[in-house]
Amino acid sequence: MTSRSTTAQPLAVLDEDAPSEPCASPRLQFKIADQAWEFEAIHRLNYRTFVEEIPQHAPNAERRLVDRFHDENTYAIALHEGELVGMIAGRSARPFSLDGKLPDLDRHLPPHQKAMEVRLLAVAPAFRNFHKHGVFARLSGVLARHFRAQGCDLALISGTLRQTRLYRHLGFQPFGPQVGSAEAPYQPMLMRLPDYAAHCAHLEFLSDGRHASFLPGPVALSPAVVQALAEPAHSHRGPAHLLRLARVRERLCALSGSQDALILPGTGTLANDAIAGQLSLLEGAGLVISNGEFGERLLDHARRWRLSHQALRLDWGQPLSADALEQALQTQRPSWLWAVLSETSTGMRNDLGLLRAACRRHGVRLCVDAVSALGQQALDLRGVWLASAVSGKALGAYPGLAIVLHEGALLPEGQLPRAIDLATFAAADGVPYTQSSNLLAALEAALGIDWPARWRAVRSADAQLRRALGCNAAVPSAMPWQAVVAPDQAMPGILTLALAPHLQAARMGAQLERAGFKLAWQSAYLQQRNWLQICLMGDWDAAALAVLPARLAQAAGVSLPEA
């Protein structure tokens, strides 16, 4: 069987008014083609588009058309229920097809490192409604991501004149004279690939059907974590589980500086109940510090456990000062102190060094809520008696595992409810009762990353986000939102925005979610204060984050400040 090769092809027509009723709610998969059947489907869609629909080539009996650059092409494709419904090709090898149409092509190009050419757009008619499906834009996003990884920074196309508005929407700009024929004229256009990332990154993360999660929980999960959860379950008494548990406990200790880590089925609330149980066995009163929602929850734990305690309450978003802490310790003379390290409600980072030094001077046992702190940035829990954490926040795993890190002896077992008796867990080498091997496997996968690199990425992204939103300066910006906590007092990667009265956090949050961005706004304490929150926890999407400020400004009806 012989195959017909195409001559250099421009981008095909994409009809914005094409019918979409046959697939009113398609579930599309976007990927780089890598299977033999996908390439065969590409040749047949190429034929239907560039022979039968756009008669640029003669028909052939095989009804397949192999592009002359096929061996050099990379194809981004769209699949619907196992059928190819869209494709676009790219290649970075010269000469380009445009070289044959513009002999002085390089004279028209801006300075760049490496260029690539986009060609052969073909989309099945039922999927051409750009505004409904965005097939072209999503195919372009997959291709742009691939070629950026190959070092390309400039993309070239021959765009049909009927679709100039669409190409401009994606960031392409015309250059040079028109090419082609009088019957089929095309305009050479170019775009810097970094600009595509800035303006259309949301199309890249939407291209695989995901929403971008910027929630404090549940967080976005890496493929390794998802895969680990799906492995066959093991007995919690078997050697595989016990060895994994030992590895996970060791990694948690290395990550935190704590002497031991106990893992319980449950949530961060249960971990704090386990700490409260230990405190209930102590003599003497305690001091609980609150400057946000989760400090208030520690006070509620103390009340429910009937702990003898005093409260040091600060305004939400107010930092804990050395003077206020010292005065409270001298006045109350507590035997223990309990505070939140990362106050997720506001983004406040309470100073662990300050707390530790003060407790050491006064001989006070220090307990901390590190639920949103462990994994978010480097943490040194040396000198902390008990600290709560959880699998499903900054550690980047599924929710369902409560963690208590401790230094020094636990109080004797048998005096507390079995599910939260830490001494019982310690005595049983961490496994007194049934545990989920799947959740543990997912947590181990989440812990196996380069943590210093992650912390650097979070700090960098946090600074860029604040700068883009006008929240990176000490003076208030003119934007219709203000950061609740200043950058130097905030936990990197947790940004809480207090919105202007004319904006509604619930409405903006719902609008952003429809656009593919999940932000925190549904908690009662956020709604009561008209706050919107962006968290960089878990496997957050850098491409989506790049475009989030513009989407947020669009939802608020404003323009972003100049960079």
Please determine, for residue 26, whether its predicted confidence score (pLDDT) is greater than 70.
no
Contact call for residues 382 and 400 (beta carbons, < 8 A): no
How far, in Å, CA of 156 to CA of 117, rounded?
5
Measured N-to-C along each axis, helices 293-304 and 268-280 cross at an angle, to the nearest 10 degrees, of: 50
Q: Which fold has domain 4-209?
A: Aminopeptidase (3.40.630)
Q: Which fold has domain 451-556?
A: Aspartate Aminotransferase, domain 1 (3.90.1150)
Q: Where are the domains of the chain?
A: 4-209, 223-447, 451-556
Question: Which H/E stretch holds residue 307?
Answer: none
Neighbours of 52 (CB within 10 A): 12
SS3 375: coil
More confident residue, 297 or 16: 297
Q: Give the per-residue pLDDT at 226.
A: 95
Lowest mean pLDDT among 191-200, 249-258, 390-399, 454-463: 191-200
Please determine, for residue 131, whether its predicted confidence score (pLDDT) is greater than 90.
no
Query: What CATH number has the domain spanning 223-447?
Result: 3.40.640.10
Place of tokens 């990425």: 457
Neighbours of 198 (CB within 10 A): 14
pTM for this model (two decimals): 0.73
How far is CA 454 from each of CA 202, 215, 545, rounded to the nearest angstrom?
22, 17, 15
Q: What percent of the chain has pLDDT over 90?
A: 72
How far, in Å, CA of 471 to CA of 476, rounded?
8
How far, in Å, CA of 243 to CA of 229, rounded?
17
pLDDT in tens, 27-84: 788 899 999 999 999 999 999 988 888 777 889 999 999 999 999 999 999 999 889 9
